[in-house]
Amino acid sequence: MITLYGIKNCDTVKKARKWLEKNGVEYRFHDFREDGINQVPLEEWLEQFGWQEVLNRRSTSWRALSDAQKNGMDNTSALSLARETPTLIKRPVTVSGSETRFGFKEATYEEITK
């Protein structure tokens, strides 16, 4: 079973959910805002992929950070900031078995749903 993490009003998350539904793929959706961030394996993601892959550096939330926060970013500060502001996390996060992907690309979804 696939778990899709994100925020329901995010356009990219909407595209991913629409693709999964159109292709008959069962999934569980975890909304960072409604379901919370405490049960999200954020620490694992940061350890495995690093903050550069986990955080969305094009987001409004990223641009709202101070230059000092951006320049001093590491996995520890990313963990703290992402827990406070889940919109910093690149969306959607798709977890299928032991595979985790960030963002949405049709080709990637075709791979992980085979």
Rounded-to-integer distance, Cα 17 and Cα 30, Å: 12
| Active site (annotated) includes residue 10 | yes
17 contact partners, CB below 8 Å, separation of at least 6: 4, 27, 29, 92
Task: Look up residue 16 and give its amino acid.
Answer: A
- Strand, helix or coil at 108? helix
From the list 2, 4, 10, 82, the catalytic residue is 10
Q: Known catalytic residues?
A: 10
